[in-house]
C-alpha cells in the first residue's frame, strides 16, 4: 500500500531494490521494528505506563529519523547496471539523514517553545537546509525524478515569489528562513503526509504485507472462482470479485494486477475473452479495488488527516461509489458474455465454496475483526495491529501457510522496504504543502480559481477533473491529491460543495490515469500478462470503466451518494444510480436485456445505444441547481429515452426477422 503503490505498485519492481547482505538486511529490519514499536507506543498510549509521552513533532521526527535513512540503503543512486552495490556515499547519506532528524527529534521541545519555525537560529537554519536536501534525495531514489522535480518547483517558490508575475507574486523569503520553516514547522517535512503515515498508515502497511505473505491472494481468487466461475463470463466476474477483495485490503493497483491477474487473465482467455478485453477487465477491477474500503491506499489516510475526520468517515463515504463502479463493471461483462454467447467454466474444474472457506476461514475472520474495530469500536489506529496479530497467530496453526524463520524474515524485509519507500516519498511531498502554506498562497489561489470559473460550479468541477487527471498522469496519486487538496479543494468548498465529496472527487479523477491512455499503468501491466496490445487494452479498460468518469460528478453534486444527508435521499439517489448503471452497461456493450444484441442492427445500433447512454446518465445524475433539473425531471427523461430505445430496438429486430417476399 505504498504511495508508489498508489501509483501504486510496489512502486519499484523487486529487481530495482538493492540486493543487501545480511548486515544491512539486519539494519533494515531493525529500523522497521523500532518504527513499529514507536507507532504502537503512540497508538496504544503506552506512555501512561512508562511516564514518558513524547510531543507530536518529536514522534514524527523520530519516525523519519529511523525510516528515511533506510531509503539510502534500499534504493541505489541510479537504476543503471553497476549501481546496485552499496557505496561509501550511501552509508554517509544514511548516517547523515539519521543524525539530522535525530537531532531535530531531540530539539523538538525547544522548536515548539521558542517558535523556531519562524525565527530559527543559524544552526537550526543550516540543519533545516540539510534535512530538506536529504529528504529530496531520498524522495528521488524512492519516487523518481518527475515527482522530485515537481516538489523542487514548489519548494523554491518562496525564494522567488517577489519576482513572479500576476497571481503568483508574493514576498520573497531567504533560503535560511524557508528551510527552517520546512524542517521545523508541522506544515512541511513532518506535515500532513508524514502525520498520516506515522499516525495511521504504518499499521495498515504491516497488515497488507502480512496478507500477501500468508496466502490471502490465493484464498480470494479461489473464493471468487468457487462463487462465480460457473456463470456466463465467469472468469471475468471472478477477476472483479478477487481483485476487488484483494485490492481493498492491499491498496495497490499494479501489485493487484500482477497478483490476481496472473490467474484470472489466462482463465478469461481460455473462456473466450479476447486478450485485450481480459487485460482491460483486470485493470479496471484492480483499480476499483484501491477505491474499495476498508483499505484504500495511502492517499485515503492522508485525506482523513487533511479533513481532520476519522478514517472511518472516508471509508463509509467510499462505499456506494465503489460498489457502483464494480456493479457497472459486472454488468458490462455480463452484456459482453451474453452477446458473445459465452458460457461459464465447468463446475468440475472449480474449487468448492465449502472447501475454500474451510481452508481460508481465518481471512474472513480477520476481515470482520478489522471492520468491527474500524466501524463499531472506532479504534482505527489500533485496528490493523489487532487484525495483524490475529492473522499471524492463526496462520501459525495453518500447515500450508505456516511461517518458518525464512518466511518470517522475508515478511519483515517486505515491511521494511515499504516503510522506507513511503517515508522517503511522503517527507518530500510535504514540501509542496509547506511551500504553499509558508507563502500564504492557498487562500489566494482559491480566490483566483473562483474568479477564473466565473462562480460557475460546473466549470470549476470540469477544471478540477482535468487538473486531477493530468496530474495523475505525471505523478503519483498522492502527489496529485496533495497539490489539488491545497489549491483546488478550497475553491470548490467555497462554492458550497460538500468537503468530503470534493476530496473524493479529486481522488477519483487522480486514479483515472491507471486505465486511461496515454499512460494507463494498470492497463499496460495487465496487457503484458495478457499478451495484448497495450494501447488497445488501455482503450478497452477505458470503456469498461466508463462509469468512473461520471460517478465523481454524481457524488460531488449530491452527497447522498457518499452517505451524507438524510437516509431517504441516500436511498433515492443510490437506486437511481443503480438503474442508470444498468442502462449504461447496455448502451456501452450493445446488448439490451429483453431485446438482444443491438449490434446485429448494423449502423442503426448507434442511435439506439446513444439514447441508452444519455438515458442512463439522466437516471444516475442527481437533481441539482447546477444541472438545472430536479430528480423527478431527470428520472422522466431517463424513462422516455430508455423506453424509446427499447421500443425501437424490438421493432427493428422484428423487421429484420421478417423474411422478404
Domain boundary among 421, 438, 472: 421
Query: What's CA 575's distance to the chain center, in Å?
Result: 26
378 grid coordinates: 472506532
The Cα–Cα gap between 350 and 8 comes to: 31
CA-to-CA separations, 194 to 61, 144, 434, in angstroms, rounded: 9, 19, 12
Q: Could you tell me if residue 522 is inside a domain?
A: no
Q: Are residues 133 and 282 in the same domain?
A: no
348 located within any domain: yes
* Per-residue model confidence (pLDDT) at position 183: 92
Question: Does one domain contain both 183 and 289?
Answer: no
Burial annotation 240-275 (CB, 10 A radius, 16+ → b, else e): bbbbbbbbbbbbbbbbbbbbbbebbbebbbebebbb
- Cα dist. 2→202, 259, 521 in Å? 10, 16, 16
Question: Which residues 6+ apart lie within 8 Å of 89 measured at CB?
Answer: 77
Q: Please choose, from the candidates 333, 323, 327, 279, the residue with its C-alpha nearest in 3D space to the C-alpha of residue 520.
A: 279
Lowest mean pLDDT among 432-441, 447-456, 574-583, 600-609: 447-456
Q: Residue 454 has what pLDDT? A: 66
Q: 433 preceded by cis ω (within 30°)?
A: no
Q: Predicted confidence band at 447 (pLDDT cuts at 50, 70, 90)?
A: low
Q: Is residue 117 part of a domain?
A: yes
Residue 114 lies in a domain: yes
Instruction: Please give the pLDDT value at position 612.
Output: 92
Q: Are 35 and 285 in contact (CB under 8 A)?
A: no
Grid coordinates belonging to 559: 452527497
At residue 657, the pLDDT reads 63
Identify the band that residue 2 occupies on the pLDDT scale cut at 50, 70 and 90.
Answer: very low
- If asked whether residues 238 and 185 sit together in one domain, one would say no
Contact predicate 583/615, CB 8 Å: yes
Give the model confidence (pLDDT) of 301-318 as tens digits.
Answer: 888 888 888 888 998 999
ω into 277 cis (within 30 of 0): no
pLDDT at 656 > cutoff 60:
yes
Q: How far apart, in whole angstroms, are the C-alpha atoms of residue 626 and residue 74?
A: 50
Q: What is the pLDDT of residue 98?
A: 96
Rounded-to-integer distance, Cα 39 and Cα 32, Å: 10
Kindly write down the DSSP assignment for every residue of 470-508, as one continuous string: HHHHHS-HHHHHHHHHHHHHHHHHHTT--HHHHHHHHHH
- Same structural domain for residues 135 and 264? no
Is the pLDDT at 7 greater than 60? The verdict is: no
* 247-266: pLDDT as tens digits: 666 556 777 787 778 888 88
- Mean pLDDT across the chain, nearest whole number? 83
* Polymer length in residues for the chain: 661
| Residue 299 or 644, more confident | 644
Tell me if 113 is assigned to some domain. Answer: yes
Query: Angle at the Cα of 309 (from 307 to 188), degrees rounded to 5?
Result: 45
Is 207 in the same domain as 222? yes
**Does 199 share its domain with 281?**
yes
Q: Which pLDDT score, from 0 to 100, does residue 507 have? A: 85
- CA distance linking residue 412 with residue 32, whole number of Å: 8
Q: What is the pLDDT of residue 345?
A: 78
User: 524: which 3 cell numbers?
Assistant: 499496460
Kindly state whether residue 157 falls inside one of the protein's structural domains: yes
For residue 474, the model assigns a pLDDT of 55
Q: Does 606 reside within a domain? A: yes
Same domain? For 262 and 407 the reply is yes
Query: What is the pLDDT averaged over residues 142-148?
Result: 84
Q: Is the pLDDT of residue 78 over 70?
A: yes
* Concatenated DSSP letters of 422-470: HHHHHHHHHHHHHHHHHHTHHHHHHHHHHHHHTT-HHHHHHHHHHHHHH
Same domain membership, residue 572 and residue 587: yes
Contact 494, 450 (CB under 8 A): yes
**How many C-beta atoms surround the C-beta of residue 455 within 10 A?**
10
Question: 587, 610 in Cβ contact below 8 A?
Answer: yes
| Each residue's pLDDT tens digit, 150-180 | 889 889 988 888 787 766 777 788 898 999 9
Q: In angstroms, rounded to a whole number, what is the distance separating the alpha carbons of residues 297 and 514?
A: 14
Q: Are 507 and 477 in contact (CB under 8 A)?
A: yes
pLDDT the model gives residue 154? 87
pLDDT band at 27 (very low <50, low <70, confident <90, very high): very high
Helix 534-544 and helix 521-530, axial crossing angle in degrees, nearest 10: 120
Distance between CA atoms of 453 and 378, rounded to whole angstroms? 40
CB atoms within 10 A of CB 82: 7
Q: What is the pLDDT of residues 478-521, one digit of tens each?
A: 777 887 787 778 877 777 788 898 898 888 887 787 888 766 77
Q: Give the rounded percent of residues in the chain with a pLDDT score beyond 70.
A: 90
> What pLDDT, on a 0 to 100 scale, did the predictor assign at position 73?
92
Bridge partners (DSSP) of residue 592 are 596
Instruction: Tell me the Cα Rg of the chain.
Output: 26
Q: Which residues contact 106 (CB under 8 A, 6 or more apart)?
A: none
State the Cα–Cα distance between residues 324 and 303, nearest whole angstrom.
21
Question: Residue 228 in contact with residue 269, Cβ under 8 Å?
Answer: no
Whether residues 182 and 217 fall in one domain: no
- Between 2-16, 478-492, 558-572, 599-613, the lowest mean confidence (pLDDT) is in 2-16
Could you tell me which of 40, 22, 43 has the C-alpha nearest to residue 32? 40
How many domains in the chain?
A: 3
pLDDT at 6 over 70: no
Residue 510 lies in a domain: no
Q: What pLDDT was estimated at residue 602?
A: 84
**Whole-angstrom Cα distance, residue 315 to residue 296?**
8
Instruction: Look up residue 575 and give its three cell numbers.
Output: 437506486
Give tens-digit pLDDT for 185-205: 988 899 888 988 888 888 888
- What phi, psi does 629 have (nearest 5°)? -135, 150
Q: What are phi and psi of 597, to 5 degrees?
A: -75, 110
Tell me how far the alpha carbon of residue 172 is from its chain's centroid.
Answer: 36
Residue 592, exposed/middle/buried by CB under 10 A (0-12, 13-18, 19+)? buried
The HSE-up count of residue 506 (CA atoms within 13 Å, CB side) is 32
**pTM of the predicted model as reported, rounded to 2 decimal places:** 0.80
Please tell me the distance from the alpha carbon of residue 408 to that of residue 405, in angstroms, as a whole number: 5
Contact 365, 214 (CB under 8 A): no
Tell me the pLDDT tens digit for each residue of 334-354: 888 888 877 777 887 788 888
DSSP state of 86: P
Please state, in angstroms and as integers, the Cα–Cα distance from residue 561 to each residue in 40, 322, 376, following that order.
35, 10, 21
pLDDT tens digit sequence for 394-415: 988 877 778 888 899 999 998 9
Q: Do residue 137 and residue 47 come from a single domain?
A: yes
Domain check: are 160 and 279 in the same one?
no
Beta strand extents in 477-630 (DSSP E only): 591-592, 596-597
Domain that holds residue 627: 566-661
The pLDDT of residue 11: 34
Supply 71's cell numbers. Answer: 531509503
Q: Which of 67-76, 288-297, 369-378 is modeled with the greatest confidence?
A: 67-76
Say if residue 40's pLDDT is above 60: yes
Q: Which residues are CB-neighbours of 576 under 8 A, at least 6 positions away?
A: 619, 620, 622, 631, 634, 635
- Identify the weakest region by mean pLDDT among 198-207, 545-554, 622-631: 622-631
Same domain, 98 and 187: yes
Closest CA to 65 of 91, 96, 41, 88: 96
pLDDT at 449: 64
Decide if 324 contacts 585 (C-beta within 8 A). no
Amino acid at each position: 500500500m505504498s504511495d508508489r503503490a498508489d501509483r501504486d505498485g510496489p512502486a519499484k519492481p523487486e529487481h530495482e531494490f538493492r540486493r543487501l547482505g545480511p548486515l544491512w538486511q539486519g539494519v533494515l529490519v531493525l529500523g522497521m521494528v523500532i518504527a513499529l514499536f514507536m507507532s504502537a507506543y503512540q497508538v496504544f498510549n503506552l506512555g501512561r505506563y512508562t511516564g514518558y509521552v513524547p510531543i507530536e513533532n518529536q514522534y514524527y521526527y523520530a519516525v523519519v529519523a529511523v525510516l528515511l535513512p533506510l531509503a539510502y540503503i534500499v534504493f541505489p543512486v541510479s537504476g543503471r547496471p553497476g549501481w546496485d552495490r552499496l557505496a561509501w556515499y550511501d552509508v554517509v547519506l544514511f548516517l547523515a539523514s539519521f543524525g539530522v532528524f535525530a537531532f531535530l527529534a531531540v530539539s523538538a521541545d525547544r522548536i515548539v517553545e521558542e517558535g523556531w519555525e519562524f525565527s530559527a537560529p543559524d544552526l537550526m537554519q543550516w540543519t533545516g537546509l540539510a534535512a530538506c536536501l536529504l529528504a529530496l534525495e531520498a524522495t528521488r531514489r524512492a519516487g523518481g525524478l518527475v515527482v522530485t522535480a515537481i516538489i523542487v518547483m514548489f519548494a523554491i517558490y518562496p525564494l522567488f515569489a517577489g519576482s513572479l508575475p500576476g497571481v503568483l507574486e508574493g514576498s520573497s523569503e531567504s533560503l535560511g528562513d524557508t528551510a527552517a520553516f520546512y524542517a521545523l514547522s508541522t506544515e512541511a517535512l513532518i506535515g500532513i503526509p508524514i502525520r498520516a503515515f506515522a499516525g495511521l498508515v504504518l499499521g495498515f502497511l504491516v497488515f497488507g504485507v502480512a496478507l500477501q505473505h500468508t496466502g490471502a491472494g490465493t484464498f480470494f481468487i479461489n473464493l471468487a472462482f468457487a462463487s462465480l466461475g460457473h456463470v456466463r463470463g465467469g472468469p471475468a466476474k471472478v477477476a472483479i470479485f478477487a481483485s476487488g477483495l484483494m485490492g481493498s485490503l492491499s491498496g495497490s493497483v499494479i501489485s493487484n494486477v500482477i497478483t490476481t491477474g496472473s490467474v484470472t487473465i489466462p482463465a478469461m482467455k481460455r473462456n473466450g475473452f479476447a486478450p485485450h478485453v481480459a487485460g482491460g477487465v483486470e485493470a479496471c477491477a484492480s483499480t476499483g479495488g484501491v477505491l474499495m474500503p476498508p483499505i484504500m491506499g495511502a492517499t485515503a489516510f492522508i485525506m482523513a488527516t487533511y479533513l481532520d475526520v476519522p478514517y472511518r468517515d472516508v471509508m463509509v463515504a467510499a462505499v456506494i461509489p465503489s460498489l457502483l463502479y464494480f456493479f457497472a463493471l459486472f454488468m458490462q461483462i455480463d452484456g459482453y458474455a451474453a452477446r458473445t454467447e459465452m458460457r461459464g467454466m465447468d463446475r468440475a474444474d472449480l474449487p468448492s465454496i465449502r472447501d475454500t472457506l474451510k481452508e481460508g476461514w481465518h481471512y474472513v475472520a480477520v476481515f470482520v475483526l478489522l471492520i468491527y474495530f474500524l466501524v463499531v469500536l472506532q479504534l482505527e489506529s489500533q485496528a490493523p495491529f489487532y487484525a495483524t496479530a490475529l492473522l499471524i497467530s492463526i496462520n501459525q496453526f495453518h500447515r500450508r501457510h505456516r511461517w518458518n524463520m525464512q518466511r518470517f524474515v522475508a515478511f519483515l524485509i517486505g515491511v521494511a522496504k515499504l516503510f522506507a519507500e513511503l517515508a522517503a516519498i511522503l517527507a518530500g511531498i510535504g514540501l509542496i504543502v509547506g511551500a504553499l502554506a509558508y507563502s500564504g498562497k492557498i487562500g489566494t489561489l482559491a480566490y483566483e480559481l473562483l474568479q477564473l470559473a466565473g462562480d460557475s460550479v460546473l466549470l470549476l468541477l470540469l477544471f478540477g477533473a482535468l487538473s486531477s487527471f493530468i496530474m495523475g498522469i505525471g505523478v503519483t496519486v498522492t502527489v496529485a491529491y496533495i497539490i489539488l487538496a491545497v489549491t483546488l479543494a478550497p475553491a470548490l468548498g467555497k462554492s458550497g460543495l460538500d468537503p468530503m465529496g470534493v476530496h473524493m472527487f479529486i481522488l477519483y479523477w487522480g486514479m483515472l490515469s491507471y486505465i486511461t491512455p496515454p499512460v494507463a499503468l494498470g492497463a499496460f501491466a495487465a496487457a503484458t500478462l495478457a499478451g495484448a496490445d497495450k494501447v488497445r487494452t488501455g482503450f478497452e479498460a477505458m470503456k469498461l470503466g466508463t462509469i468512473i468518469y461520471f460517478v465523481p460528478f454524481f457524488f460531488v453534486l449530491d452527497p447522498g451518494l457518499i452517505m451524507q444527508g438524510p437516509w431517504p435521499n441516500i436511498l433515492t439517489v443510490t437506486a437511481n444510480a443503480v438503474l442508470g448503471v444498468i442502462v449504461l452497461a447496455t448502451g456501452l456493450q450493445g446488448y439490451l436485456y429483453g431485446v438482444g444484441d443491438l449490434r446485429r442492427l448494423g449502423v442503426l445500433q448507434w442511435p439506439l445505444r446513444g439514447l441508452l447512454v444519455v438515458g442512463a446518465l439522466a437516471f444516475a445524475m442527481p437533481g441539482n441547481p447546477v444541472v438545472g433539473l430536479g430528480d423527478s425531471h431527470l428520472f422522466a427523461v431517463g424513462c422516455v429515452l430508455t423506453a424509446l430505445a427499447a421500443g425501437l430496438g424490438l421493432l427493428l429486430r422484428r423487421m429484420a426477422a421478417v423474411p422478404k417476399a
